[in-house]
Each structure stands twice: as C-alpha cells, then as structure tokens.
Amino acid sequence: MKRHLLPLALALAVGIGIGGTIPSAQAASIAATQAAPDPAVQLRNAIDHLRHNDLVSLVQSMLPPAKYQMLQGAYEIKRNEPLSDDDREEFAEGFGRFTAPDAVDQLMAEIEPKLDKARPQAEGAIL
C-alpha cells in the first residue's frame, strides 16, 4: 500500500511546488514588469490630451497620483487666499502690456537687445 501512495505523494508535492508561491525577489520583479507602463502608450496619451486641449488630464497622466494630489491641494490652498490690491494692480499692469495698442512694438523693443546679445552665442540657431 505504501508503495502505491509514494508516487502519488511525490506527484502531489511536485505539483504543489510548481504551482506554489514564487520567491519574493522574483515576485517583485514580475510585479514591477507588469506595473510599468509602456512609454509609447504614455506618450500617445499625452499627445491626445494636448490635441484635445485637456490640460488637466495631461498633468494627471504625467504625474504620479501622490504628486498630483499634492499639486491639487496646493492649488486649492492658494486659490482660497484672498487677492490683495497689489496683486490686482500687478495683474492689470502685466496684462496691459499685452493688450496695449502698440504692444508688439513695445515688446520687440524690449526683446531686440536680448536677441542681439544672444545671436553670437548661438551660431547656426535661428534668432
């Protein structure tokens, strides 16, 4: 009787050993491989978000969930702060620079000296 049960016991032990648990180092590498997103898919998703002008989804897809939650929390805190008169003046002044009738001429007058200074440093670049 014992001789008949021995092969059965060995087969059962081998079957359990094969289908049993995986060592933790192996399991960690398998989990990391399965959890790692495909960079090509991530890039395609980012491009789709940009094409549809969905900046919230773009940022959400590019950041880890914990960082996104932190960013969202910081935004909410800053958004709930009241605006001061200085903030309003600074915004009106900055926005006025872009909406003035001669805004292009003023901005180019400000930028041209910087471009002239940068041109010799960037040979072959279109400036």
Model pLDDT for residues 57-92, shown as the tens digit of each residue: 999 988 999 999 999 999 999 999 999 999 999 999
Looking at residue 2, what is its pLDDT?
55
Identify whether the C-beta of residue 110 lies closer than 8 Å to the C-beta of residue 101. Answer: no
Looking at residue 121, what is its pLDDT?
80
Residues 17-28 pLDDT 10s: 554 455 555 555
Mean pLDDT, rounded, for 43-56: 93
Query: Distance between CA 83 and CA 69 in Å, rounded?
Result: 24
Measure Cα distances from 42 to 37, 57, 59 in Å. Answer: 7, 12, 12
Instruction: Provide CB contacts within 8 A for 22, sequence distance 6+.
Output: 30
Residues 96-120 pLDDT 10s: 999 999 999 999 999 999 988 888 8
pTM recorded for the entire structure: 0.46
**The pLDDT of residue 122 is above 90:** no
Q: Tell me the helix, strand and coil percentages in the chain, rounded to 5.
A: 80, 0, 20
Looking at residue 123, what is its pLDDT?
77
Other CB atoms within 10 A of residue 86 CB: 8
